[in-house]
Amino acid sequence: MFNDFKLIDGRPVYIQLKEYLKRMITNGHLLENQKLPSTRELSTYLSVSRNTVLTAYADLEQEGLIYAVKGKGNFVSQVETFNAPSIQLNWKDKINGQTHLADELDLMKHGVRWNHDMISFNSIAPDEKLFDVENFKRAFLNRMAIEGNIVLNYGYARGYKPLIEYLLHYMEVKGVDIRNKDILITNGFTEGLDLLLSSIHKKNGRILCENPTHHTALKLFRLHGFEIEGIDMEDDGIDVSKLESSLSKKEYDFAYLIPSYHNPTGIVTSSEKRKEIMNLFSAYQLPIVEDGFNEELRYSGSHLAPLAAFAGAGNNVIYLSSFSKILFPGLRVGWILADKDLIYYLESMKRARTIHTSTLDQAVLFQYLNDGCFEKYLKKAKSVYKKKYELAVHSCLQAIPYKRITGDGGLHLFLQLENNIDSRSLLEKCSQKGVVFLPGDVFYTDDSGKDTLRLGFSRLKEREITQGIKIIGDTLRNDFGG
Amino acid sequence: MFNDFKLIDGRPVYIQLKEYLKRMITNGHLLENQKLPSTRELSTYLSVSRNTVLTAYADLEQEGLIYAVKGKGNFVSQVETFNAPSIQLNWKDKINGQTHLADELDLMKHGVRWNHDMISFNSIAPDEKLFDVENFKRAFLNRMAIEGNIVLNYGYARGYKPLIEYLLHYMEVKGVDIRNKDILITNGFTEGLDLLLSSIHKKNGRILCENPTHHTALKLFRLHGFEIEGIDMEDDGIDVSKLESSLSKKEYDFAYLIPSYHNPTGIVTSSEKRKEIMNLFSAYQLPIVEDGFNEELRYSGSHLAPLAAFAGAGNNVIYLSSFSKILFPGLRVGWILADKDLIYYLESMKRARTIHTSTLDQAVLFQYLNDGCFEKYLKKAKSVYKKKYELAVHSCLQAIPYKRITGDGGLHLFLQLENNIDSRSLLEKCSQKGVVFLPGDVFYTDDSGKDTLRLGFSRLKEREITQGIKIIGDTLRNDFGG
């Protein structure tokens, strides 16, 4: 007895001993009224200080797990370890259709397996080596010094007020008319979109989006039971004449658009197209859900305002974004900027579902932004990513026989292969050679895109980018006659 | 021009100037090709350093908002400020019934208004003055030193692995058989319950719970369209014979139970009742959703295992909890412990809806727990809350004419008034005298409970507890003949 007690580092020993004994009692290995070793005996036997045993025993007594008899020692209390007749439910049968669909569409579960020795073009998450950890720590300590107690207690469903004020100003600077608009802070972009889809009345149950489009959004549209009409992408954004034709034929609830560094194609919608789109949706009196994804990552070129700015005093654009894609994805902070009335209702759904977004995350992010650290970080990140981008483009043009390649910057490129080569077959071959990427079909609203793939380069070293792309190109030539 | 430029403290001046100019450009106050003042002129006019203006201009040029002409100065670029015909949608009409219900049931929006000069018994949040901010900071810095880059990047939908391991062990120590069980980390208890309700197949669309019960849970059951059968509470837990009678009459999908410091009654279900409940649900092969709410806050008395422990190797208990209620509510971290198969599916819903819970929150919480700080904090918190609890009980017994008073510890008491006095009328009178509390009806599954109220005392000073309760008692006697 007690010979399986093993200490781990970095945790107080008395707590480990207490938990060890508590577990022995609750699982019935120490029996009711059984005498425990004296503190002296146990401390010698386990090679821990006598004080450690004393503290552990005192805590166990306080919790009602043992009792002391004066002059006799410590004994195990009566602890109910009654087990009801053990029943086994079949949980798989108790799961609803929506959840089975979420499982089916879960790329993390069902994607191609890869390990860290491979060159993975899967991710478009920021490169963690770029993270500005020192300024982040400083922001944390500064904020804690200002209002540590408040940061750690309940906040408001709407969000942390200084962050909301900051973001309203941030959007105003982008040219957005913020009168009669408001902001709701969310657990990243994804919760924002899910809340919105959960809250709006499905009048037609039909939506428009670019084809291909962001996989997570597509998954949520499907989980919410929407019929999805995808519109082809031209090199300067969505095909507006096809968009117009769709709008004239059927009724839609809204459109979901990613005007900048569109995921997965990397296309930036031109200023002219932004105007045409806004005119069209004004004419049809339809809302647009604008995904502000990576808008900040413009490496060069002229300023481009979000659709929310083009809408002027109008209230039909719902702008969703987050800093996570560039800054710190581990902090789940996003926001919805929309008409005040809409935010009023979304706030109640947010409260019902998650009470509010982590005050800690919001407060530290606010401090970091307000201190001007984001501006500085962005300059550094842009120069690093720009180099990787140019290298990736150059390597693709050299090594890969393609039908179409798009990506105006950002953290990824999108390729359409020649001769209808199936990108999943290509992936199978490439993964044997240590290279993986995301097959493009997962981004399509229909069954197309089988000859496409997305290459995310943000987290790769320059050497890996050239090498990985070369392997893809060689595989195409050798195994597919590309 | 430029005379409305005002500096705020703590933000780099060049960023403020840049944003100010950007806003003037995007909103059309500075026109295309308009010449900007020279850096020397502007720095003199605004009383900022010339370097500040130089940096701001350089950034604006980089963003494509201004352009420089050698020897001539800086000019405003062409910036699209086109506004589409402004359209005004009526968002209220575009909101679905579920969201209107969420708004209706939103206590924060529609509760009695109060201000910080009043004595508020509304809250059962922890007292932020107790927060162990120093150790929390230390935990943050320690974790950041160990893996700052990882903490700030994307994590797993399932949760932060060290925290999951910690919690599995934590539950095992409570006597739970963790074989074939798993854990999903959630944004607090609330997201856990919402995920579960979103994922399970509504076979009968009917559930059982204690009456009264946790308002947030009740709200979620209603939002998910469940028919709710509330079972009366006896002083040692749910009325088991009524529970049995309900089970024998209709089919249910599951029961939701709060065995410890039940919200709102504060009752701790006895060990005997826990056994009876488990036997009953084994016989009916029904799942129990156990709310581990404030289980840690036991001030004295014998050890009580959660229902999840009583279930033994059975898999019909889904245990939901969070440390937020005692520790740091501003961190939104909760967990679901349940059968592996169930967690497998819930993971995909979690990923679809919020990707994952803040890695920062999880990692710092893990470090704080693992360092043994929670144990120490709990001892301090228990002794403070116990004093407040005893004072609140004593004051109620002295000052308030009641029909029933419950609360075995925890952070609140629940009162039923004599003579069917309506607690909302009482609240109206009391709030005029500077005291507010939560009318109990919001916790009831049916239209009952109009003569009940919940008194949360955790955040009040001792003086406020006695004084506030005295005012409620006096009001009852003077205005209601109580």
The domain locations on chain B are 13-76, 99-129+376-480, 131-374
User: Least CA distance to B91: which residue of chain A?
Assistant: A342
User: Cβ contacts (< 8 Å) between A252 and chain B: which residues?
Assistant: none
Nearest-CA distance B121 → chain A (Å): 16
Alpha helices for B47-132 (secondary structure H):
50-62, 97-104, 107-110
| Mean pLDDT, residues B65-88 taken together | 87
Question: What digits encode the pLDDT tens for the residues A208-229?
Answer: 999 999 999 999 999 999 999 9
For B312, the closest of A84, A93, A223 (CB atoms) is A84
The pLDDT, as a whole number, for residue A79 is: 82
* Alpha-carbon span B73 to B67, nearest angstrom: 9
The pLDDT, as a whole number, for residue A296 is: 80
For B137, the closest of A144, A278, A332 (CB atoms) is A144
Would you call A334 helix, strand, or coil by DSSP?
A: strand
The pLDDT, as a whole number, for residue A78 is: 87
Number of H helices, E strands in chain A: 17, 16
* Residue listed under structure tokens 């599954």: B445
| Mean pLDDT, residues A78-84 taken together | 73
The pLDDT, as a whole number, for residue B81 is: 66
Peptide bond into A439 cis (omega under 30): no
Token pair for B302: 């014998």
Tell me which residue of B169, B293, B304, B197 sits closest to B254, measured CA to CA: B197
Burial of B300 (0-12, 13-18, 19+ CB in 10 A): exposed
The 10 Å Cβ neighbour count of residue A464 is 17
Nearest-CA distance B406 → chain A (Å): 22
Tell me which residue of A140, A168, A169 sits closest to A359, measured CA to CA: A140
**Hey, are the CB atoms on B79 and A220 less than 8 Å from each other?**
no
pLDDT at residue B301 greater than cutoff 80: no
Q: Per residue in B261-278, is it b (16+ CB within 10 Å) or e — as a string?
A: bbbbbbbbbbbebbbbbb
pLDDT at residue B221 greater than cutoff 90: yes
Would you call A146 helix, strand, or coil by DSSP?
A: helix
The pLDDT, as a whole number, for residue A409 is: 86
* Alpha-carbon span A42 to A26, nearest angstrom: 20
The pLDDT, as a whole number, for residue B27 is: 83
- The secondary structure element, H or E, covering residue B229 is strand B227-234
**DSSP code, position B127:** P
- DSSP letters, B395-450, are HHHHH--EEEEE-SSTTEEEEEEGGG--HHHHHHHHHHTTEE-EEGGGG-SSS--T
The pLDDT, as a whole number, for residue B28 is: 83
Between helices B340-354 and A97-104, what is the axis angle to 10°? 70
- The radius of gyration computed from the CA coordinates of chain B, to the nearest angstrom, equals 28
- Contact (CB, 8 A) for A229 and A207: yes
Confidence of residue A482 (pLDDT cuts 50, 70, 90): low
Identify the residue with better confidence: B139 or A110: B139
**Hey, are the CB atoms on A175 and B98 less than 8 Å from each other?**
no
**Hey, are the CB atoms on B330 and A109 less than 8 Å from each other?**
no
Token pair for A224: 């919410």
pLDDT at residue A378 greater than cutoff 80: yes
**Could you tell me the fold of the domain covering A99-129+379-480?**
Aspartate Aminotransferase, domain 1 (3.90.1150)
Confidence of residue B293 (pLDDT cuts 50, 70, 90): confident
**Contacts A–B by Cβ distance under 8 A:** 434
**Hey, are the CB atoms on B78 and A155 less than 8 Å from each other?**
no
User: Cβ contacts (< 8 Å) between B323 and chain A: which residues?
Assistant: none
Identify the residue with better confidence: A142 or B293: A142
User: Least CA distance to A298: which residue of chain B?
Assistant: B63
Nearest-CA distance A403 → chain B (Å): 32
User: Cβ contacts (< 8 Å) between A23 and chain B: which residues?
Assistant: 172-173, 175
| Mean pLDDT, residues A327-334 taken together | 90
Would you call B237 helix, strand, or coil by DSSP?
A: strand
The one-letter amino acid at A284: Y
Length of chain A equals: 482
Confidence of residue B58 (pLDDT cuts 50, 70, 90): very high
The pLDDT, as a whole number, for residue B112 is: 74
| Mean pLDDT, residues B209-218 taken together | 98
The pLDDT, as a whole number, for residue B235 is: 96
- Lowest average pLDDT, out of A109-123, A156-170, B38-52, B137-151, goes to A109-123
**DSSP code, position B83:** -
pLDDT at residue B482 greater than cutoff 80: no
CATH architecture of the domain with residue range B99-129+376-480 = Alpha-Beta Complex (3.90)
**Hey, are the CB atoms on B12 and A93 less than 8 Å from each other?**
no
Burial of A3 (0-12, 13-18, 19+ CB in 10 A): exposed
- The radius of gyration computed from the CA coordinates of chain A, to the nearest angstrom, equals 28
For A86, the closest of B64, B128, B313 (CB atoms) is B313
The pLDDT, as a whole number, for residue B82 is: 65
* Alpha-carbon span A250 to B202, nearest angstrom: 33
pLDDT at residue B78 greater than cutoff 90: no
Confidence of residue A298 (pLDDT cuts 50, 70, 90): confident
Question: What digits encode the pLDDT tens for the residues B85-99?
Answer: 789 999 999 999 999
User: Cβ contacts (< 8 Å) between A64 and chain B: which residues?
Assistant: 298, 300-303
* Alpha-carbon span B386 to B390, nearest angstrom: 6
The pLDDT, as a whole number, for residue A16 is: 96
The pLDDT, as a whole number, for residue A327 is: 86
Query: Which of B358, B359, B371, B411 best probes binding to A when mutated, by most A CB atoms within 10 angstroms?
Result: B358
The pLDDT, as a whole number, for residue A116 is: 85
User: Cβ contacts (< 8 Å) between B339 and chain A: which residues?
Assistant: 89, 91
**Hey, are the CB atoms on B144 and A155 less than 8 Å from each other?**
no
User: Cβ contacts (< 8 Å) between B137 and chain A: which residues?
Assistant: 140-141, 144, 148
The pLDDT, as a whole number, for residue B337 is: 98
- Contact (CB, 8 A) for B445 and B368: no
Q: Which CATH number applies to B131-374?
A: 3.40.640.10
Length of chain B equals: 482
Give the angle subtended at the CA of A406 by the CAs of A403 and A411, to the nearest 5°: 135
Question: What digits encode the pLDDT tens for the residues B264-281?
Answer: 999 999 999 999 999 999
User: Cβ contacts (< 8 Å) between B344 and chain A: which residues?
Assistant: 103
The pLDDT, as a whole number, for residue A178 is: 96
**Hey, are the CB atoms on A328 and B152 less than 8 Å from each other?**
yes
Measured in Å, how far apart are chain B's first and last C-alpha atoms?
A: 68
Identify the residue with better confidence: A2 or B237: B237
pLDDT at residue B115 greater than cutoff 90: no
The pLDDT, as a whole number, for residue B276 is: 95
**DSSP code, position A175:** T
**Hey, are the CB atoms on A352 and B287 less than 8 Å from each other?**
no
pLDDT at residue B162 greater than cutoff 70: yes
Residue percentage of chain B with pLDDT more than 90: 86
The 10 Å Cβ neighbour count of residue B449 is 21
User: Cβ contacts (< 8 Å) between A313 and chain B: which residues?
Assistant: 83, 86
Token pair for A378: 């962005």
Token pair for B392: 């609140």
- Lowest average pLDDT, out of A278-292, B41-55, B288-302, goes to B288-302
* Alpha-carbon span A106 to A469, nearest angstrom: 26
For B275, the closest of A82, A105, A141 (CB atoms) is A82
The pLDDT, as a whole number, for residue B298 is: 77
The pLDDT, as a whole number, for residue B292 is: 93
Mean pLDDT taken over chain A: 94
Confidence of residue A82 (pLDDT cuts 50, 70, 90): low
Tell me which residue of A315, A286, A311 sits closest to A203, measured CA to CA: A286
Query: Which of B52, B77, B94, B276 best probes binding to A when mutated, by most A CB atoms within 10 angstroms?
Result: B94
- DSSP letters, A200-257, are B--SS-EEEEEES--HHHHHHHHHTT-EEEEEEEETTEE-HHHHHHHHHHS--SEEEE
Nearest-CA distance A233 → chain B (Å): 22
User: Cβ contacts (< 8 Å) between A311 and chain B: which residues?
Assistant: 83-84, 86
Nearest-CA distance A466 → chain B (Å): 24
Query: Which of B14, B173, B177, B215 best probes binding to A when mutated, by most A CB atoms within 10 angstroms?
Result: B173
For B151, the closest of A282, A330, A344 (CB atoms) is A330
Interface ipTM: 0.95
The pLDDT, as a whole number, for residue B363 is: 96
User: Cβ contacts (< 8 Å) between B155 and chain A: which residues?
Assistant: 330
User: Cβ contacts (< 8 Å) between A148 and chain B: which residues?
Assistant: 131, 133, 136-137
For B154, the closest of A298, A300, A330 (CB atoms) is A330
Strands (E) located in A314-451: 317-322, 334-339, 402-406, 412-417, 435-436, 438-439
User: Cβ contacts (< 8 Å) between A103 and chain B: which residues?
Assistant: 344-345, 348
The pLDDT, as a whole number, for residue B116 is: 85
Identify the residue with better confidence: B327 or B435: B435
pLDDT at residue A70 greater than cutoff 90: yes
> From the centroid of its chain, how far is CA B111?
17
DSSP bridge partners of A67: A75
Nearest-CA distance B34 → chain A (Å): 16
**Hey, are the CB atoms on B282 and A144 less than 8 Å from each other?**
no
pLDDT at residue A419 greater than cutoff 80: yes
Mean pLDDT taken over chain B: 94
**Could you tell me the fold of the domain covering A13-76?**
Arc Repressor Mutant, subunit A (1.10.10)
| Mean pLDDT, residues B62-66 taken together | 91
**Hey, are the CB atoms on B80 and A271 less than 8 Å from each other?**
yes
Nearest-CA distance B342 → chain A (Å): 6
Q: What share of chain A is helix, strand, coil (3-state, %, to 5)?
A: 45, 15, 35
For B314, the closest of A88, A91, A348 (CB atoms) is A88
**Hey, are the CB atoms on A174 and B27 less than 8 Å from each other?**
no
| Mean pLDDT, residues B395-402 taken together | 96
- Lowest average pLDDT, out of A103-112, A271-280, B52-61, B282-291, goes to A103-112
Confidence of residue A28 (pLDDT cuts 50, 70, 90): confident
The pLDDT, as a whole number, for residue A110 is: 87
Question: What digits encode the pLDDT tens for the residues B367-388?
Answer: 999 999 999 999 999 999 999 9
User: Cβ contacts (< 8 Å) between A166 and chain B: which residues?
Assistant: none
